[in-house]
Structure 1
Amino acid sequence: MSEIPISILIGLLTGILTALIAWWILFHCIIPRIHFSSSISKTPTQDDKSGYRYRFKLENAGRRSIIDVELMARLRIKGLLADYPTNWEVINIPLGANGRRYKIPRILPIRRRRVRYIMRLYVNRVNEFREPIYPEHIRRKAEKQSLLLEDILSLGSQATLQIHAFGYDEFSGARKLFISKFYTIHDIKEGPFEEKGLDVQELTIPE
């Protein structure tokens, strides 16, 4: 008589454990994963008065699609004002010609569709760089819309740029946040992105 309840208990515990393992795999392993390029690409262009455009690249390296993706780029500058050396100024850099945020309806896993996205940073669409808290040479360039990303990342005692991507797991509906590394001035590389992958194909200057 005692064997029946024990077998039922073992079966119940096994079922619960199996369900927990399946839940863990479903929500922690088979999920969207956005990967960002390790560098920012700098290439010549005629559609910006600075003469250059700056871009980063991303892909969904996970196993499920992510939908309603909203991207934003945050610039952080420490010690912009000498009287407040530990303060951080935070500025959003536009990722679209008409706004500071950019939306992608759906990003499929890279293994299902070999598509990666290249996003542009519109440095010269930030009006804040014309304000008095910025050095005169920055304000002059901002007025002429000829700022380089290097100009901005050279400000203060420390300056970084980070990309945030908000999106929904297509399967679970859970909203997820993906963030890039903190890019610095040393992460800007002159050259286009490789066709396959997230690396910048740096230009070589012939001797």
Structure 2
Amino acid sequence: MEDLAAYLFSPFSSFLLGAVSSLFVWWLIPRCWKPEVTFSEELVEYVLDGDESFFQCAFENTGSRDIIDLEIQVRIGIKGYRGATGWAHHLVKSNASKVPLLSPGKQRRVKIFDTRDPIEFIDKPSKTIREAIESCHSLRDVLELGDDGEVRIHVFGFDSFSGVRKHFQSKKYCDWEIRKGTFRGLNVVKNNRFAKPNYSTTEG
């Protein structure tokens, strides 16, 4: 009788142990072996020589492993354009829509708007709002077309070890969160590249 019980319950115990282990790993992977991304708190306006500039966001791989096959989306929203009651959101092309790999501690800058190039829409808005956006000379002008405006960056990426894919969304960037300068890591600092020399004269 004991031999029969051992014969019946041994396969069952193995199956149960395997099922519990699989469920534990299934629960653990997306919580522990997943990519991590941190965004900059501000957008930067990188002023070029003359009257030109471009606007960027930055993000960093703050996890412990590579993130692979990154997809990056830039989404601009305008609320209340010409009396409209809701938001109009549109994806625009950037310089970093696809990134094959981002190592731990490395940053990526995403260009949102460049005064030297026409803006390119992925999903085109209506003709009136498209023409209004295309006539703007800076990102600030775009965000001030309606009662409110925002920019959000969306990043999708896979953990190189577990294969877990995760979506990251930046904060809502408004026009007052744009600062002239350049990025040092994820912080906006003064840009001295095109700074004009400050000549002073002294009387002898």
Partners of 1:132 and 1:171 in 2: CA distance: 47
Aligned positions of 1:95-106 closer than 5 A: 95-96=94-95, 102-106=97-101
Equivalent position amino acid for 1:149 in 2: L
Distance change (3 Å), C-alpha of 1:132 and 1:173:
same
Residues 106-144 of structure 1, C-alpha deviation per residue, up to 9 Å, x if partnerless? 11222xxxx2112212355226699434787x66x45xx
1:38-187 alignment runs, 5 A limit? 38-46=41-49, 51-82=52-83, 84=84, 86-96=85-95, 102-110=97-105, 115-124=106-115, 125-126=118-119, 131-133=127-129, 141-142=135-136, 147-187=137-177
The percentage of counterpart residues that share the same residue type is 29
Cα offset, 1:163, TM superposition: 0.3
TM-score, length of structure 2 as denominator length: 0.71
Q: CA RMSD in A?
A: 3.4
Name stretches of at least 5 consecutive residues in structure 2 with no aligned partner.
7-11, 199-204
What is the distance in 2 between the residues matched to 1:50 and 1:130? 29
Structure 1 58/130 Cα, relative in aligned 2: closer, same or farther at 3 Å? same
TM-score, normalisation: structure 1: 0.71
The residue type paired with residue 170 of structure 1 is: S
> Which residue of the partner structure matches residue 199 of structure 1?
187
- How far residue 89 of structure 1 moved from its aligned partner, in angstroms, is 1.4
Return the structure number with greater strand share: 2
Q: Which amino acid aligns with 1:178?
A: F
Separation of aligned partners in 2, 1:130 and 1:13: 58
User: Counterpart of 2:202?
Assistant: none
5+ residue gaps, structure 1, are none
Rg: which structure is higher? 2
In the alignment, residue 200 of structure 1 is paired with which amino acid? V
3-state SS of 1:200 partner: strand
Q: What is the SS of the residue equivalent to 1:26? A: helix
Q: Residues of 2 paired with 1:17 and 1:63: CA distance? A: 27
